[in-house]
Amino acid sequence: MLPSSTVVQMPSPPSGCASAAASSTSHSSGLVLGVCCDQLMPQHSHPHPVHRNVPVPATSEKERHKERQLLATKWPPPCFIVLASLLEILVFVCVGQVPPEDSVLIYRPDLRLQLWRFLSYALLHASWLHLGFNVLTQLLFGLPLELVHGSARTAVIYMAGVLAGSLGTSVVDSEVYLVGASGGVYALLAAQVASVLLNLEQMRHGILQLMAVIVFVFCDLGYALYSRELEELQARPTVSYIAHMTGALAGLSVGLLLLRQLDGGLRPRLLRWLALGVWSAFSVFGIAFNLINTVTAQLLAEQEGEVLKQHLLHDLGMG
Give the residue numbers annotated as catalytic, written as ranges: 182, 244
Under 8 Å between Cβ of 190 and 171: no
Q: Which residues are 107's β-sheet partners?
A: 178
Measured CA to CA, the distance from residue 44 to residue 62 in angstroms comes to: 31
DSSP H stretches of helix in 75-150: 80-95, 117-120, 128-149
Angstrom distance (rounded) from CA 144 to CA 151? 11
Q: Please state, in angstroms and rounded to a whole number, the distance separating the CA atoms of residues 256 and 7.
A: 71
Beta-bridged to residue 178, according to DSSP, are 107
The DSSP secondary-structure symbol of 48 reads: S
CB under 8 Å to 87, separation ≥6 — which residues? 123
Report the candidate in 226, 134, 232 with the shortest Cα–Cα distance to residue 179.
134
Peptide bond between residue 76 and the one before it cis (omega within 30 degrees of 0): yes
